[in-house]
Amino acid sequence: MKTVRVMKIVSNDETHLRSLDELMRVFGSAKRYAFNRLLEGRNAKDLIQHLLRQFQLNKRYAEDAVLLAQSLISSQRELLPMRLEDVQAKIEKTEKKIDDYQHGRKTPKKVDLQTCLDGLHRRLEKWKSKEDELKHHLDQGTIPRVIFGGKQNFYKRLKGKITNEEWKDLRSNQLYEKVWVIRS
């Protein structure tokens, strides 16, 4: 049985915080590596031994990295049918809106009818494409791509709204949450 302790780290020494950040970075890398190797079909026990050597982790961290990767894969597989249902509901809703606008039951408030219908048709195409992608994953037994650190944060990084260091912190922040306290 594993014991988990919740602690508060109070330190004015930057070296302690840097070493903890480095541990988080290595653990996050090991988890992402384990995730990708499990998707390739590697054996979990062999993977644990490989993580011990490759990332110089102790056995507890290597096992936890593989366990977290396995749980992420299984949760993505479980969520796939629900995501497909959500997309199908959005397709139905968009088709109903198109029908309402075409038959005069609704009128657009901000743009002309043709612009509104064009936008709704583009949205419908997007959702149907997403539906095909999710069905393909269900049929093949695969999962959609996973972005560690969050999809929104990934796009913020692409647009330059967050720095590369902030993005890496978001990806690696798995062991503890940084809380900066400024004392005057």
pLDDT in tens, 139-166: 998 998 888 888 888 899 999 998 988 8
d(CA 91, CA 125): 9
- Domain contains 175: no
Average pLDDT for the chain: 86
- Domain contains 121: yes
Question: Is the pLDDT score of 177 beyond 60?
Answer: no
Read off the pTM.
0.77
Q: Provide the domain limits for residue 61.
A: 14-146
- Domain contains 3: no
Question: Is the pLDDT score of 180 beyond 60?
Answer: no
Q: How far is CA 78 from CA 75, 90, 115, 121, 180, in A?
A: 5, 20, 38, 30, 36
Q: How far is CA 146 from CA 57, 72, 127, 136, 171, in A?
A: 24, 9, 19, 16, 12
d(CA 88, CA 72): 24
- Domain contains 8: no
Per-residue pLDDT band for 172 (boundaries 50, 70, 90) equals confident
Which helix or strand (DSSP H or E) is residue 6 part of?
A: none
- Domain contains 126: yes
Please give the share of the chain, as a percent, with pLDDT higher than 90.
53
Type of residue found at 34: A
- Domain contains 165: no
**How many residues does this entry show for the chain?**
184
In total, how many domains does the chain have? Answer: 1
pLDDT tens-digit readout, 89-115: 999 999 999 999 999 898 888 889 899
- Domain contains 130: yes
pLDDT tens-digit readout, 19-74: 877 888 888 889 999 999 999 999 999 999 999 999 998 899 899 999 999 999 99
pLDDT score at 151: 85
